Structure 1
Amino acid sequence: MGYPKDLLASRSIIEHGKYALIAPEGLVNNVIPGFENCIISILGSPKLGASFVDYVVTMKIGGRNSDGFGGQVDVETFVYVIEGEIKASAGDQEFVLNESGYLYCPPGTKMYLENLKDTESKLFLYKQKYRPLKGRKPWVVSNHANKIEYQIYDGMHNVHLKDLLPTDIDFDMNFHILSFDPAASHPFIETHVQEHGAYLLTGEGMYNLDNKWVPVKKGDYIFMGPYVHQAAYAIGRENLTYVYSKDCNRDVEL
């Protein structure tokens, strides 16, 4: 990066346990054992107040995770390709994933990742502890989001949603893509027990976080904790679109 070109400033906002906006300009590289020729930044994590861990990973030429990711008996993982092309493996299954491709690995299944491009590939990576349900068990899921049709969101024809994982109760979480046409918004300011980790894929917007309106744009990461007010509207000339996680299909433990 070299010497600063202006006064030191940041758009990032951190409210531990509540919410965070993390702009890409301030990210630093975290060394994670097993990842080779990769630049990794840890985004959401328990140290921030999240029950999961989110990463943004830039795989350089020859980048890979040779030791595997996840694989513990109580940890599930997910990867989404922001740009580039990778080989993703789950046990004895292999998938070639281009932009919008993704892979979910259930507990006990290691995920292996390898860059297939002669340029960089960029990934949104996730892990969390699985909350078991008697008689239920999730399975490996892989697809490309651009092969899934958008559904109209909450009756509004200018907001659209994709479910990336099955809505079956075998799964205790899901990943979605939400897309707002220019000037579109949520129907109301949400307040709920679920938490989210979101990576902005396209566009610009204003996001309500704990009743504070914050400008956001492509490349930003947002953590939203339980019961934090949240809503968005799109501004500019292109859709505001983001991929995000949501915990679901389980009761609250006492």
Structure 2
Amino acid sequence: MTKPMTRPPAQSRSYYAPSGGHPPQTDLLTDRAVFTQAYAIIPKGVMCDIVTSFLPFWDDTRLWVLSRPMSGFAETFSQYIMEVAPGGGSDKPELDVKAEGVLFVVEGELTLTLAGKTHTMTSGGYAFIPPASTWSVRNHGSGPVRFHWIRKAYEGVDGLGAPDALVLNENDIAPSPMPGTDGRWATTRFVDPADLRHDMHVTIVTFQPGAVIPFAETHVMEHGLYVLEGKAVYRLNQDWVEVEAGDYMWLRAFCPQACYAGGPGPFRYLLYKDVNRHAKLRP
């Protein structure tokens, strides 16, 4: 299996993470949240204390649920932003033995024990957790750790085993430029696209200021897009919407999409999509 391209440690990256709280009573109800038949926008301003959730067997932890399978919308995955206080974590994090997962750290330091090995994950840290894995997470630091947790029911294929566990960091991987863009549009890939054991990809897409997706992508993959850095104008279905660091876009299959990166710095987002499997023909 081809490994991701590596490079020397790069400059520090920016990763937006919510911190909760509530807006003051003097604020007007003017925000950018929207839910349509084709897409949803969950802006950073609505990720307040009141919309957090809790999970069994997680200590000193709360989470924002960004997406979950919904009939008639996006059906393949869920995505959370986890917030673990110092000393918190879980020795029994995943209750579904058929679920695979990806963790991506945006703030703080997370101790991950996976298949008997312990890893210290910092900002930019990525972990792929195969189904039926034995794993745990703890926050041994002095401040909260915040990370994305993307979950999917793994679709096995006869003759292909499940993918291997991976623990990597974005800063050690060279982005792959989109052909014909002079590097203005690039993707950081944590797994080999040719490895068909994987039925989902979680990548980081980077646009330099002024870079564009110059056509309306229309395809079968469902998407979760969390903006890590920067701002852009995004085309979703028939609408142009402004998005910035901390916003989340949730797209059902075949929702047309394009974007224009607004600057002054790079526009970067964490991207989920389902891949490499036949479309289901029956429930």
TM-score, structure 2 as length reference: 0.85
Structure 1 equivalent of residue 265 of structure 2: 238
Query: C-alpha distance in 1, partners of 2:23/2:217?
Result: 42
Please, which of 176, 183, 187 is the counterpart of residue 151 of structure 1? 176
- Quote the residue 1:187 is aligned against: 214
1:233 and 1:63 mapped to 2: Cα distance? Answer: 40
Separation in 1, partners of 2:230, 2:122: 21
Which structure 2 residues correspond to residues 1-254 of structure 1 after superposition, within 5 A? 1=22, 3-16=24-37, 18-27=38-47, 28-47=51-70, 49-50=73-74, 51-70=76-95, 72=97, 74-137=98-161, 138-157=163-182, 158-167=184-193, 168-254=195-281
Aligned 8 A contact 1:205 1:217 in 2: yes
For the structure 1 residues 154 and 187, does the alpha-carbon distance in structure 2 shift closer, same or farther, using more than 3 Å as the test?
farther
1:212 positional shift: 0.6
How far off is 1:178 after superposition?
0.5
Runs of 4+ in structure 1 deviating by more than 4 angstroms, as ranges, are none
Structure with the largest fraction of strand: 1
Is the alpha carbon distance of 1:39 and 1:134 closer, same or farther for their aligned partners in structure 2, counting shifts above 3 Å?
A: same
**1-structure distance, mates of 2:134, 2:231:** 35
Q: What SS does the corresponding residue of 1:96 show, helix, strand or coil? A: strand
CA contact (8 A) 2:102 2:150 kept: yes
> Taking every aligned residue pair, what percent have the same amino acid on both sides?
28
- Where relative contact order (Cα < 8 A, 6+ residues apart) is larger, the structure is 2
CA distance in 2, matches of 1:154, 1:33: 45
Pairwise CA RMSD of aligned residues? 1.6
Structure 2 portions without partners, runs of 5+: 1-21
Kept in 2, the 8 Å contact 1:196–1:224? The answer is: yes
Q: 1:31 to 1:62 in 2, by over 3 A?
A: same
Partner Cα separation in structure 2 for residue 155 and residue 164 of structure 1: 22
Cα pair distance change 1:63/1:24, threshold 3 Å: farther
